[in-house]
Amino acid sequence: MAEIMRPAIQISNLSFKYHEHSGVSFNDFNLTIYEGERFGLFGPNGAGKSTLMSLMTGLQKAQKGTIQLLDEDIHAKGTRKLFGFVPQDFSLYEELSPCENLNFFGAWAGLTKTETTSRIHELLDILGLTAVKDKPVMTFSGGMKRRVNLAIGVIHKPKILFLDEPTVGVDIQTRHAIIEYLKQLNDAGMTLVYTSHQLAEAEDLCNRIALMDHGKLLACNEINELLHTHKQHDLEALFLQLTGKEFRN
Amino acid sequence: MFKLWATIRKDALLLIRDKVGLLLMFAMPIILVLVITNIQNATFELVNENKIPLLVCNKDTAHTSIEFIAALKHIGMFEITEVSSDLTNESLNTNMHEHDALVAIVIPATFSSTILKKSTQVSSKALHEFGITNDTTNSAAAIHDSTSITFIYNPVLQQSFRQSIHGALSSAIQIIEGKKLVQQLYSTLNEKPMPDNLQMEVLQKNIFIDEIPAAKDGSKTIPNATQHNVPAWTIFAMFFIVISLGGSVVKEKLSGSFVRLKTLPTNYLTALLSKQITFLGVTLLQVFVIFSLGMWFFPYIGLPALNLPKDLFGLLIISLLCGWSAISYAICIGTFAQTQEQANGFGAVSIVILAAISGILVPSFAMPQSFAVIMKLSPLYWCLESYYGLFLERGSLKDVLATALPLVGFIILIQGITLIGLKKKNLI
């Protein structure tokens, strides 16, 4: 499959170390994620998932190596239009309504006024937010805020979507709705790069995963292949086998 | 353009929904302007319009002391209450509190005799010098007899206020001394008392003091507490925007939304430009609201009305420059502050200090000479000088260019520092 598909994200010989503190570091790290994939990044706390996400979205700059998104350097002008980002924290203005948030972020994502207006209606409808479109987000439940957070990330129909634990702290119904929507986006051609601690969710959503720890890639393949190779019956057992059972801070 | 418009809309909505911020930006300066103008106007009226309650304890039984009290009344500055001549200084003190009098004087028993003695001696000396009389007894004696009027004052009385009362008392004494000297000269020469009508003519004041403010437009409108305070506290209000705007920049930097903004294909400078436009609108609204209050509301509460300068275009330009200076300063604070507490604390304290050295809290002419250079470091000083040029000196934009240009320099400098800060922090 990899041979016929175009890389959506190409990480080559990446080296990165935080200046301020002794956080996770990457040394000669390589990873390729292909167009149309639903790719999951998994690992315990301190594995480097969020740091890798920051590097792939251009929030951090690597000391060495390159990251390319659809053959464009991550820091090149125009690359930011290619991807969307749904951070774990609610990255929105809680004083504003979903409509007002989407209007602002749509403009910042490079959409015209007409495009933004049309996308706002579409997204509010899909994510079940039409009834509360004019209410301040601060009055919403955690699940509703997650849906607004997701809507903002996809308003400009990016080719690649980075999701950092998009379903943390939500009820079953909201999680189901979010996962189903993400599958729809993927069916439409969007590449998904996803991190989570929910392994069951990963089995449902991802078609390929990477297990990592301390800034290193421990395993990377389709889920069935990984289970077969490591002779495990589920992802949790595989996770514990590769990352150990000791507590992480 | 849609990006900028959407960002301005977002900033405006956030601003409108921040009730505490709005209160700080509008209610606080309005209260400040009202309170300070009222206080200063009351002091102004106390000196210029209201009469100062003055207790007079006259221990002198002769007529000259009565004439002295009449002269004090004639000055028009005092509301005189005569108290018993038996009072001691201590009991006079108690009487002052009872009568709400800020000042009291004790006329000594020797007051009339001292003045009469002096006038006799001076007139004899003068006539002897002219060769009119041969009286050598009085003319040879040195004039060194003196007596004192005791001036008791409430310690709350400011020095400048005390000095003006002191001046009024001295003036009344001089009137009496002059009158007695003329009377003495007349009676010695004519061997009869001076007629009342002649006395009136001699002592009549023919030279008056005509007050004219040095206005550039030639107007004779005398500046009042409103004219001084409204522009000054409007500047303070504009700069106090640092609490809201500086805090907003820090809040955005620390919030999750900033992480997303950094991943979007729009430069953060758009956000800063939007904040400048939005808050420039706020500062102009502050100017409009506070000036309107000064013009239309102040007369209803007994304060003088604010007279706008004739050059309204100049007023708009100066207001824009003042507002932009305030906004540039606030954004700079927000860029370098790590937390909202830092931005609010440093911002507020620095504005109070800059206001203090600029002449807003204490008039610049009353500051020590050593502050002459320091005050010019404060942007509020240049704002105040520009506004005073328009409001008090009644000048036009051309007349205040010299004080407005440093504001342009300040804006360029502070915006440059902000850009360097943003670059260093990898925010642009």
- Whether residue A249 lies inside any domain: the answer is no
Judge whether B259 and A89 are in contact, CB under 8 Å: yes
**Beta carbons of A58 and B14 less than 8 Å apart:** no
Average pLDDT, stretch B286-313?
Answer: 91
Amino acid at A168: V
Interchain contact, A92 vs B264, CB within 8 Å: no
Q: Which of A95, A100, A108 sits opposite B3 (nearest CB)?
A: A108
Helix (H, G, I), strand (E, B) or coil at B54: strand
Contact B328, B280 (CB under 8 A): no
Q: Using a CB-CB distance cutoff of 8 angstroms, which residues of chain A are in contact with residue B258?
A: 91
pLDDT value at residue A20: 64
Answer whether B286's CB lies under 8 Å from B327's CB.
no
Select from A81, A92, A116 the Cβ nearest to the Cβ of B257: A92
Please indicate, yes or no, if residue A62 is contained in any of the structural domains. yes
Give B20's Cβ-side CA count (13 Å radius).
5
Rounded mean pLDDT of B287-294?
93
Contact status of A106 with chain B (Cβ, < 8 Å): yes
For testing contact with chain B, the best of A86, A93, A149 (most B CBs within 10 A): A93
Per-residue pLDDT band for B19 (boundaries 50, 70, 90) equals confident
At B253 the three-state DSSP class reads: helix
pLDDT in tens, chain A (249 residues): 445 678 999 999 999 988 766 667 888 899 999 999 999 998 888 888 888 999 999 988 888 999 999 999 998 888 889 999 998 888 889 899 999 999 999 999 999 999 999 999 999 998 888 999 999 999 998 889 999 999 999 999 999 999 988 888 888 888 888 899 999 999 999 999 999 888 888 888 898 999 988 888 888 888 888 888 888 888 778 778 777 767 666
* A248 lies in some domain: no
**Residue A1: inside a domain, yes or no?**
no
Q: What is the interface size between A and B, counted as CB pairs within 8 Å?
A: 81
Distance from CA of A1 to the nearest CA of B (A): 30
Which helix (DSSP H) or strand (DSSP E) does residue B396 occupy? none
CATH code of A16's domain:
3.40.50.300
Residue B137: what pLDDT?
60
Cross-chain Cβ contact A103/B13 below 8 Å: no
Q: Are A218 and A226 in contact (CB under 8 A)?
A: no
Tens of pLDDT along B315-343? 999 999 999 999 999 999 999 998 988 98
- The answer to whether the Cβ–Cβ distance between A95 and B13 falls below 8 Å is yes
Q: Would the pLDDT of B78 be above 90? A: no
Which of A54, A86, A101, A104 to substitute to test the interface with B, most B CBs within 10 Å? Answer: A104
Residue B390 makes CB contacts below 8 A (sequence gap 6+) with B309, B311, B314, B315, B318, B396, B397, B399, B400
CA distance A96 to chain B (A): 7
B263, B268, B338: best mutation site toward chain A, by most A Cβ within 10 Å? B263
> With an 8 Å Cβ cutoff, are A59 and B262 in contact?
yes
pLDDT of residue A1: 47
First to last CA, chain B: 19
Confidence of residue B38 (pLDDT cuts 50, 70, 90): confident
Do A59 and B263 lie within an 8 Å CB cutoff? yes
Contact A107/B at CB under 8 A: yes
- Helix H segments across B209-311? 225-239, 242-254, 256-263, 268-292
List, in order, residues 6 or more apart from A240 with CB less than 8 Å away: none
Residues of B in contact with A116 (CB under 8 A): 2, 6
Residue A2 lies in a domain: no
Say which of B9, B18, B265 has its CB closest to residue A78. Answer: B265
Q: How far apart are CA A9 and CA A31, in angstroms?
A: 8
Using the 8-state DSSP alphabet, how is residue B22 labeled? H
Q: Is the pLDDT of residue B132 over 90?
A: no
Q: Which residue intervals of B264-400 are DSSP H helices?
A: 268-292, 312-336, 340-358, 371-374, 379-391
CB contact under 8 A, B3 and A152: no
Residue A136 and residue A95 in contact, taking contact as beta carbons nearer than 8 Å? yes
* pTM of the complete model beyond 0.80: no
**Which has more pLDDT, B162 or B56?**
B56
In a domain, A57, yes or no: yes
Chain A residues closer than 8 Å to B269 by CB: none
Q: B199-234: per-residue pLDDT in tens?
A: 777 767 677 777 776 666 666 666 677 888 899 989
A20 lies within 8 A of chain B by CB: no
Quick check: B2 and A105 CB within 8 A? no
- What is the residue range of A93's domain? 7-243
Distance from CA of B234 to the nearest CA of A (A): 29
| Total number of domains constituting chain A | 1
Query: Which residues in chain A touch residue B9, judged by CB atoms under 8 angstroms apart?
Result: 100, 103-104
Q: Which amino acid is residue B12, in one-letter code?
A: A
Mean pLDDT of all residues in B396-415: 93
Shortest Cα distance, chain B CAs vs residue A237, angstroms: 34
Long-range contacts formed by A174-182: CB under 8 A, 24+ apart: A174/A143, A174/A144, A174/A146, A174/A147, A175/A201, A177/A127, A177/A128, A177/A147, A178/A146, A178/A147, A178/A150, A179/A204, A179/A205, A181/A126, A181/A127, A181/A150, A182/A38
What is the maximum span of chain A, computed from C-alpha positions, in angstroms? 54
A220-224, long-range: CB < 8 A, 24+ apart? A220/A31
Kindly state the greatest CA–CA separation across chain B. 108
- Hey, are the CB atoms on A109 and B264 less than 8 Å from each other? yes
Using the 8-state DSSP alphabet, how is residue B294 labeled?
I
Closest Cα in chain B to A80: B265
Tell me, what's the pLDDT at B138? 58
pLDDT of amino acid B116: 87
Contact A108/B261, CB-based, under 8 Å? yes
Buried residues in A146-161 as b, exposed as e (16+ CB within 10 A): bbbbbbbbbbbbbbbb
Q: Is residue A208 part of a domain?
A: yes
In this predicted structure, which of B16-30, B178-192, B195-209, B262-276 has the lowest mean pLDDT?
A: B195-209
Q: Across all residues in chain B, what is the average pLDDT?
A: 84
| pLDDT given at position A55 | 92
Instruction: Find, among B24, B9, B2, the residue nearest to B275 by Cα.
Output: B9
CB contact under 8 A, A108 and B263: no
Nearest CB to A107: which of B3, B14, B262?
B3
- Tell me whether residues B7 and A108 touch, CB distance under 8 A: yes
C-beta atoms of B2 and A95 within 8 A: no
Residue B406, pLDDT score? 95
Q: What is the 3-state secondary structure (H, E, C) of B261-272?
A: HHHCCCCHHHHH
CA dihedral A183, A188, A189, A195 (to 10 degrees): -20
Residues of chain A with Cβ-Cβ distance to B5 below 8 Å are 107
For the range A236-241, what are the long-range contacts, defined as Cβ-Cβ under 8 Å and sequence gap of 24 or more? Answer: A236/A199, A238/A211, A239/A42, A239/A199, A239/A211
Q: What is the pLDDT of residue B212?
A: 72
Q: Is the dihedral of CA A123, A127, A131, A137 positive or negative?
A: negative
Rounded distance, CA A196 to CA A175, Å? 12
Tell me whether residues A107 and B265 touch, CB distance under 8 A: no
Question: Which ipTM score applies to this complex?
Answer: 0.86
Cα A16 from Cα A64, distance rounded (Å): 7
Residues from chain B contacting residue A112 (CB–CB below 8 Å): 2
- 3 state DSSP class of B104: strand
Residue A223 covered by a domain = yes
Q: Do A78 and B3 touch (CB under 8 A)?
A: no
Contact A105 B260 (CB under 8 A): yes
Cross-chain Cβ contact B9/A93 below 8 Å = no
By a Cβ cutoff of 8 Å, what residues of chain B touch chain A? 2-3, 5-7, 9-10, 13-14, 17-18, 255-266, 270
